[in-house]
Amino acid sequence: MEKIVEMQNVSMNYHSLGGETQAIKSLSFDILDGEFVSIVGPSGCGKSTLLSLISGILKPSKGRILIKNEEVKGPSKNIGYMLQKDHLFEWRTIIKNVIIGLEIQGTLNKETYKSAEKLLKEYGLYEFKNYYPKQLSGGMRQRAALIRTLTANPDLLLLDEPFSALDYQTRLAISEEIWLIIKKEKKTAILVTHDISEAISMSDRVIVLTKRPAEIKSVYDIVLTCENKTPITCREAPEFRYYFNSIWKELDVHV
C-alpha cells in the first residue's frame, strides 16, 4: 500500500516569554493509504500539536512532513480535521454549516452543494438540513461535524478526541457510526484519543507516545479475530484484553 503520511524526524517547540516548551521530539512514522491509526499518550504530551502539524496549520521546528509525497506547506484540501467539540456555528443551519469548507475553499457550486446534500441524506441528517445546531442531539451534531469534514472531500481525516465531549452510551454508538462512515468513504484516519478501548476497537494500528516531549514508545498492530469487524464487535474479540492490558501498562498511569 502507498504511504499517505510520512513524518520525518519532526520536532516542535512552542515559544513564549516564559520559555520554550518542547512538545514533540524527532518523531518519525508513516501512515498507509486506507489505514485507521490511533494515537494514545498522556494528556499534554503533544498529540493535538502532532495533528496540527500534519494538517499544516502549524509548521514544525525541525524535520519534514510529507502528504502523498509532497511536503506540507499549509492547510490542504487533502486533509479534514475534526475537533473535540463539534464547533457547529449556532447561527448557521446544518446545511450552511456543512458547506462552510466549500465556501472557504471557493469550491461551492451546484455540484458540490448537491454532493453535500447527498452526504446528509446518506447519513440520516437530510430532514434536519434547515435546522439549527441547537435543535440536534449531541450524537447528531457530531455526525454533522463529520459530514462538514467529508464535504470538502479529503483523503486523510484527523480526529482529535472527537467523542470525548459525549456521554458513554452516545460515544459507543457514534464511534461505531463514524467508523462505518469512514470505512465506507474509504478514508485514511488518524484518531487521537485517551480511551484505550476506543483506540483498539477502531484501529489497524495504535501508536503509544511518551509523555512530553512526545516520542514513540511503542506501536501495536491490532489483529483481532472477530466476524463482521466493527468497533463494537471488536470489543468481544479474545485478543482485546491482551492489547488493553499492555497499552495500559505502557501508558503507566499513576493516580
Partner 1 sequence: MYDKTDFSQEHINYIKSHKSFKRAVSFTRIIIFITIFFVWEIAANLQWIDPFIMSQPSRMLKTVITLSKDGSLFLHTGVTLYETIVGFVLGTVLGTIIAIILWWSNFLAKVLDPYLVVLNALPKTALGPVILVWIGGTTKSIIVMALLVSIIVTIISVYSGFSNCDEDKIKLLKTFGANKRQILKLVVLPSNIPAIISALKINVGLSLVGVIVGEFLVSKEGLGFLIIYGGQVFKMDMVMMSVIILAIAAALLYLSVLWIEKKVTKMM
Ligand X SMILES: Nc1ncnc2c1ncn2[C@@H]1O[C@H](COP(=O)(O)OP(=O)(O)O)[C@@H](O)[C@H]1O
- By CB under 6 A, name the binding residues for ligand X: 14, 16, 21, 23, 43-49, 212
Query: Which CB sits closer to ligand X, 45 or 120?
Result: 45
Cβ distance to partner 1 smaller for residue 16 or 228 = 16
Q: Do the Cβ atoms of 131 and 94 come closer than 8 Å?
A: yes
Q: Which residues contact 184 (CB under 8 A, 6 or more apart)?
A: none
42 in Cβ contact with 96 (< 8 Å): no
Task: Find out whether 65 and 54 touch, Cβ atoms under 8 Å.
Answer: yes
Contact letters (x/-) for partner 1, 180-219, by CB under 8 A?
----------------------------------------
Q: Which is nearer to partner 1, 77 or 229 (CB)?
A: 77
DSSP, residue by residue, 183-241: HHTT-EEEEE-S-HHHHHHH-SEEEEE-SSSB-EEEEEE-----SS--HHHHTTSTTHH
In which residue are the cell numbers 446528509 written? 120
Site mask, partner 1, residues 74-113, x = CB under 8 A?
A: xxxx-xxx-xxx-x-xxx--------xx-xxx--------
Instruction: Indicate which of Mg ion, ligand X, partner 1, none lies near residue 49 (CB less than 5 to 8 Å, by partner kind).
Output: ligand X
Which residues lie near partner 1 (CB under 8 A)? 52, 55, 57, 74-77, 79-81, 83-85, 87, 89-91, 100-101, 103-105, 152
